[in-house]
Amino acid sequence: MDYQYYISAWIYKVLKHADADFANFLHNKGYGKNENDSKLYKLFCFSRLNFGKPKLWKEKKLFEISAHEIKLQISFDVNKAASNFIKGLFMAQEFYLGDKFNGIDFKVSNVAALPEPEFTESMRYHLQTPWVVSYQKENDKHPQYLSPKDKLFDSLTVKHLAEKYNNTRQPKLISPEQINAKRLNDFKRAGFVMKPGTKEQSRIVGNLFEFELNAPLEVHKMIWNAGCSEKSSSGFGWVEKID
């Protein structure tokens, strides 16, 4: 059930096969103002797998999938030339998705570029994967994963979006005061296990809800192409537009 880690690892593998330097940069550093910047971002995100209604083996944390064609959306916050290059990388890829006990062999049968929506300064979104907002005190060993009930949630949400934008784009800067995110419904806590079955195994928890975002157009484009959440390269913060 926690397949997101394996998808993220596969994406890095595809990139590394084509351009080891680019993949290493994404994995180890990400985008940022300079090499010494502590806030570096990996500007891609991906959706959940679309495999219909699988059989759920809850005790074993497994999906049993009968569909023969499965869809996945991947988005990179790059220019059009790089986008066409990346599109070509994924054509006809063959790979195994899973751990050493359970998984599926896949072959990419088709890659299609999807159009962007028409962006406006006020837009409504549905979170398909959880929005992670974390806070770590100086002496804490692990971060706290906040819910919208926590008093720091709203301020850290817009602070992260502004930092993500400002650390990856030059020269125009955006302040948190230019961004307003308003939740439209109740939230549901959800998360994924990362690096399952290893010593580094951990669970990252976020929140699912619908929201209205008022922000400059560039911020909307960024979250559409790179997710709105922390850890977007692990599949968190994938948004879909609400008409």
Determine if the pTM surpasses 0.95.
no
The residue behind tokens 């050493």 is 100
What is the three-class DSSP state of 157? helix
For the chain, domains (ranges, CATH) are 4-107 (3.30.70), 122-241 (3.30.70.1900)
Task: Tell me the pLDDT of the chain (243 aa) as tens digits.
Answer: 889 999 999 988 887 777 666 666 666 656 655 544 444 456 789 999 998 888 989 898 899 998 889 999 999 887 766 777 777 888 889 999 988 889 999 999 999 888 889 999 999 999 999 999 999 888 888 889 999 999 999 999 999 999 988 887 756 789 999 999 999 999 999 999 988 888 888 999 999 999 999 999 999 999 999 999 999 999 999 999 998
User: Cis (ω within 30 of 0) for the bond into 171?
Assistant: yes
| Segment 53-65, tens digit of pLDDT | 889 898 988 999 9
Q: For residue 28, what pLDDT is reported? A: 67
Q: Residue 241's pLDDT is what?
A: 96
* The two three-digit tokens of residue 102, written as one number: 């359970």
According to the model, what pLDDT value does residue 22 have?
Answer: 65
Q: What are phi and psi of 159, to 5 degrees?
A: -60, -45
CA angle 224, 228, 232 (to 5 degrees): 95
Map tokens 């192409």 to a residue.
225
